[in-house]
């Protein structure tokens, strides 16, 4: 950043950094409490991760920090390991987790494994985030209403909230509801003024002026002055395995969000995303956070948008924002003493709303109901089993979805349609004409061990129903043929030959034709049964049939 920095950027970065700091403080504190940690750790995290990413991250405007999608995962990871431990133990566990996440991300980046960010399909991501938003909102409702519960798990938390409604502090609820209203309504009116700044400052001033803390409104209290010295967080060797599992889940969610956000902002600026370097930058930010009593972080789309709209030119904006937070901790630690806890709950709830995407569910319902079902299952997994277990459900769903599409891929009998070029599915165009004695069949997936049996059954059915002399396989979508599939093709060809039926291949990639040679399939499959187009295959097979040029409808 230093070598490529231009002096003309300085003023814009300073202004953007000051504006950014206005939202870094309340969000950092709110997401720290969402993670089950003291609010001040959110500020330590903010400072460390911004500087860490500025040194190693490739994006000029991406802003990292405590995040609403990561904090619940942190809470779920450290609570089972506390066993009555104190706050210091919780901070150490969170720090260890951040370091593990950072090391995983650096390792993935150095190993050029940026594709890991693509493991979660869009429908699974939407379902997971919707479920996460619901659990976050339910977990923050008691704080918004001015009381607390000891419940664990979505169902128990929801039951405890309704059972505790008689403990509601009306003043606290009014403040929280007011903050939430400002956060949700003001951005619809204007984006020039940060809604979170107006809401948090307003709530703090109101509480201080009216002395509401003495009336029972819980506040943050005076923050510890200064910043911690860097140290390697550690608790016990037995905590390493569960934290590593949680780190994998956090890494997957964080990278998926980061790459998507980075791509979005980069495209608007005419820049290219470097996924592997992004992972290194993210990793450095997480390690730095862990060393300074912080916790795992991710990219924030909202904070990045604020930085960009404020004129940010480089990562110096983040450094300026970190510097402003540092000044707060060193010299103005009592400034937020009257910040109501209910205001932080409102900040978290407002952030949870941004995680939801109900519009996507409506689209899935219209275009692909299977995607809707998968998304709803991912949501249910988070709600019923918890956020960490929910991400496991989401990953399993994503993997199942991938294999499902390749295990049972689409296939179609093709024919020619008057007025349209090319060959088209007879299911879509029932009037499509087929050549007598020839079935043209398109297989829409790689041929490999998991779907070889399905392919064989499909071809057998076509031969049984249509009694053709030839089956022409359109192979444009076939990107691979593994050993199991090759053996299946060999046996299938022999079986069909015994029935007087022959296989021909059209539009197969040259690489795969060479592969069939290496597999020794040309001892069974005829070398001259591979054709560059369907038309040449039809012409050749009809000559061997000795039939005329006419075609008939199916």
Model confidence pLDDT, tens digit, residues 167-193: 999 999 999 999 999 999 998 898 777
Q: Which residues pair with 505 in a beta bridge?
A: 473, 530
Res. 207: pLDDT tops 90: yes
For range 487-500, the mean pLDDT:
90
Supply the pLDDT for residue 263. 74
Contact 499, 470 (CB under 8 A): no
How far apart are alpha carbons 434 and 64 in whole angstroms? 59
Supply the pLDDT for residue 417. 92
Res. 301: pLDDT tops 90: no
| pLDDT range class, residue 250, cuts 50, 70, 90 | very high
* Number of alpha carbons in the 13 Å side-chain half-sphere of residue 98: 39
Return the SS3 of 450.
Answer: coil
For range 516-527, the mean pLDDT:
73
Please give the mean pLDDT across all residues of the chain: 88
Supply the pLDDT for residue 501. 92
Supply the pLDDT for residue 60. 84
Q: How far is CA 60 from CA 19, 65, 271, 284, 530, in A?
A: 17, 15, 10, 16, 51
Q: Which residue has the tokens 């061990």?
A: 449
Supply the pLDDT for residue 119. 66
For range 276-302, the mean pLDDT:
92
Task: Please report which helix (H) or strand (E) contains residue 267, including its range.
Answer: helix 240-268
Supply the pLDDT for residue 311. 84
For range 411-419, the mean pLDDT:
90
In the numeric block, which tokens belong to residue 137? 């909102």
Return the SS3 of 518.
Answer: helix
CA 387 from chain centre, in angstroms, equals 14
Q: Which residue has the tokens 């591979």?
A: 530
Q: Where is pLDDT greater, at 287 or 333?
A: 287
CA 31 from chain centre, in angstroms, equals 19
How far apart are alpha carbons 425 and 414 in whole angstroms? 5
Q: Where is pLDDT greater, at 523 or 332?
A: 332
For range 295-308, the mean pLDDT:
86
Res. 343: pLDDT tops 90: yes
Supply the pLDDT for residue 518. 80
Q: What is the largest CA-CA distance in the chain?
A: 99
Supply the pLDDT for residue 461. 93
| pLDDT range class, residue 218, cuts 50, 70, 90 | very high
Q: Where is pLDDT greater, at 460 or 19?
A: 460
- For Cα atoms 441, 444, 445, give the angle at the middle one, nearest 5 degrees: 130
Cβ neighbours of residue 464 under 8 Å, at least 6 residues apart? none
Least confident of 259-263, 474-478, 509-513: 259-263
In the numeric block, which tokens belong to residue 266? 């980069």
Res. 96: pLDDT tops 70: yes
Res. 522: pLDDT tops 70: no
Res. 548: pLDDT tops 60: no
DSSP string, 124-137: HHHHHHHHHHHHHH
Res. 120: pLDDT tops 60: yes
Res. 41: pLDDT tops 90: yes
Q: Where is pLDDT greater, at 217 or 267?
A: 217
| pLDDT range class, residue 269, cuts 50, 70, 90 | low
Cβ neighbours of residue 38 under 8 Å, at least 6 residues apart? 32, 87, 91
How far apart are alpha carbons 471 and 486 in whole angstroms? 17
In the numeric block, which tokens belong to residue 132? 């996460």
Contact 367, 375 (CB under 8 A): no
| pLDDT range class, residue 457, cuts 50, 70, 90 | very high
Res. 406: pLDDT tops 80: no
Supply the pLDDT for residue 546. 62
Supply the pLDDT for residue 523. 67
For range 149-164, the mean pLDDT:
89
Supply the pLDDT for residue 105. 94
Res. 260: pLDDT tops 80: no
Supply the pLDDT for residue 551. 43
């Amino acid at each position: 950043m230093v070598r490529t920095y231009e002096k003309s950027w300085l003023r814009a970065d300073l202004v953007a950094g000051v504006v950014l700091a206005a939202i870094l403080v309340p969000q950092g504190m709110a997401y720290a409490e969402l993670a089950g940690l003291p609010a001040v750790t959110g500020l330590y995290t903010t400072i460390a991760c911004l500087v860490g990413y500025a040194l190693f991250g490739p994006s000029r405007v991406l802003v990292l920090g405590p995040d609403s999608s990561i904090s619940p995962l942190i809470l779920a990871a450290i609570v089972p390991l506390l066993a009555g431990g104190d706050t210091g133990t919780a901070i150490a566990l969170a720090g260890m987790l951040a370091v593990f996440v950072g090391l995983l991300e650096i390792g993935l980046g150095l190993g050029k494994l940026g594709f890991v960010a693509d493991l979660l399909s869009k429908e699974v991501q939407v379902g997971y985030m919707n479920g996460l938003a619901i659990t976050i909102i339910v977990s923050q409702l008691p704080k918004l209403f001015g009381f607390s519960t000891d419940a664990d798990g979505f169902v128990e938390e929801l039951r405890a909230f309704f059972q505790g409604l008689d403990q509601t502090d009306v003043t606290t609820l009014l403040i929280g509801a007011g903050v939430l209203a400002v956060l949700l309504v003001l951005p619809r009116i204007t984006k020039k003024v940060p809604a979170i700044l107006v809401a948090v400052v307003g709530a703090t001033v109101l509480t201080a002026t009216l002395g509401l803390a003495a009336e029972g409104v819980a506040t943050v209290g005076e923050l510890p002055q200064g910043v911690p010295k860097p140290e390697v967080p550690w608790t016990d060797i037995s905590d390493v395995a569960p934290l590593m599992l949680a780190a994998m889940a956090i890494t997957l969610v964080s990278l998926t969000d980061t790459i998507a956000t980075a791509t979005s902002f980069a495209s608007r600026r005419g820049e290219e995303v470097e996924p592997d370097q992004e992972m290194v930058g993210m990793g450095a930010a997480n390690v730095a956070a862990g060393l300074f009593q912080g916790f795992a972080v991710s990219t924030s789309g909202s904070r990045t948008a604020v930085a960009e709209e404020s004129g940010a030119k480089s990562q110096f904006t983040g450094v300026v924002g970190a510097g402003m937070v540092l000044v707060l901790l060193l010299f103005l630690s009592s400034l937020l003493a009257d910040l109501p806890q209910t205001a932080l709950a409102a900040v978290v709830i407002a952030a949870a709303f941004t995680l939801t995407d109900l519009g996507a569910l409506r689209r899935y319902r219209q275009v692909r109901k299977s995607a809707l079902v998968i998304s709803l299952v991912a949501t249910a997994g988070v709600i019923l089993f918890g956020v960490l277990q929910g991400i496991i459900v989401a990953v399993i769903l994503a993997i199942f979805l991938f294999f499902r599409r390749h295990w049972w891929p689409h296939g179609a009998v093709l024919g020619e349609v008057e007025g349209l070029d090319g060959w088209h599915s007879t299911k879509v165009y029932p009037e499509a004409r087929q050549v007598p004695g020839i079935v043209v069949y398109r297989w829409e997936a790689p041929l490999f061990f998991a779907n070889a049996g399905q392919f064989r059954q499909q071809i057998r059915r076509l031969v049984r129903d249509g009694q053709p002399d030839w089956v022409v396989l359109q192979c444009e979508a076939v990107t691979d043929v593994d050993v199991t599939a090759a053996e299946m093709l060999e046996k299938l060809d022999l079986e069909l030959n015994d029935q007087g039926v022959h296989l021909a291949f059209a539009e197969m990639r040259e690489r795969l034709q060479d592969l069939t040679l290496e597999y020794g399939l040309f001892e069974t499959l005829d070398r001259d049964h591979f054709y560059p187009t369907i038309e040449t295959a039809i012409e050749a097979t009809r000559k061997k049939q000795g039939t005329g040029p006419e075609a008939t409808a199916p």
